[in-house]
């Protein structure tokens, strides 16, 4: 009975990450999206540790690092994609090194799209990229039995769609130093 407790805690943490992921695409600025995505990635790394999904553990830690990179890149005003290319290569390398089966390919491709989306400086484009990323990551979560991961991907997809409609045609300026 007690051997199931870490698994159950892991599943609950996955649901906490769902909330952070949903909130991320309701933010008005790239920094707001990145902050929520960073938190969700860390919580998910713990979640996947507790349900024993090694590819997702490593890739979520890398996703958190990607968020940090994108934040500082944006603060410096650097708009080149070199760091994002390095992160995409790391996603591929980590996926191959922690290979669990064909479904590792789904999360690998999904997180390559996620890396691209976080490199974009337009929230609507970031939201649009989630229409590709989320179904791929859903497949992985289904295969490893991550309830939180599956709910997360559904929430991300619905949040991105809501954000796409909510902010369509509106120009949202980057908020420099103020609240979101």
CA distance 43 to 54: 15
The token pair at 34 is 């990145």
**d(C-alpha 173, C-alpha 99), whole Å:** 41
**Tens digits of residue pLDDT in 4-43:** 888 899 999 998 988 887 787 678 887 888 888 899 999 9
Q: What is the pTM (predicted TM-score) of this model?
A: 0.78
User: What are the start-end ranges of the H helices in 25-146?
Assistant: 30-51, 54-76, 82-97, 102-119, 123-144
Alpha-carbon distance 150 to 21, whole Å?
12
How far from 158 is each of 9, 20, 135, 179, CA to CA, in Å? Answer: 25, 13, 12, 24
pLDDT in tens, 119-162: 777 888 888 888 999 999 999 999 999 999 999 889 888 888 99
The pair of three-digit structure tokens given for residue 46, joined into one six-digit string: 């713990």
Q: How many CB atoms lie within 10 A of CB 100?
A: 17
In Å, how far are 35, 61, 62, 81, 162 from 146, measured between CA atoms?
Answer: 23, 17, 19, 32, 24
CA distance 26 to 37: 12
């Amino acid at each position: 009975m007690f051997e199931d407790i870490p698994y159950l805690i892991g599943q609950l943490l996955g649901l906490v990450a769902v909330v952070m992921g949903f909130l991320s695409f309701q933010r008005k600025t790239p920094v707001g999206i990145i902050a929520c995505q960073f938190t969700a990635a860390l919580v998910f790394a713990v979640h996947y540790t507790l349900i024993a999904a090694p590819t997702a553990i490593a890739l979520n830690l890398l996703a958190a690092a990607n968020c940090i990179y994108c934040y500082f890149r944006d603060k410096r005003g650097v708009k080149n994609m070199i760091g994002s290319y390095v992160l995409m290569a790391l996603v591929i390398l980590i996926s191959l090194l922690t290979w669990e089966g064909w479904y590792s390919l789904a999360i690998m491709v999904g997180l390559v799209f996620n890396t691209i989306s976080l490199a974009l400086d337009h929230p609507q484009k970031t939201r649009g990229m989630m229409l590709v990323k989320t179904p791929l990551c859903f497949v992985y979560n289904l295969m490893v039995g991550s309830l939180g991961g599956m709910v997360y991907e559904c929430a991300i997809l619905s949040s991105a769609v809501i954000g796409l409609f909510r902010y369509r045609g509106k120009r949202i300026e980057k908020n420099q130093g103020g609240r979101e």
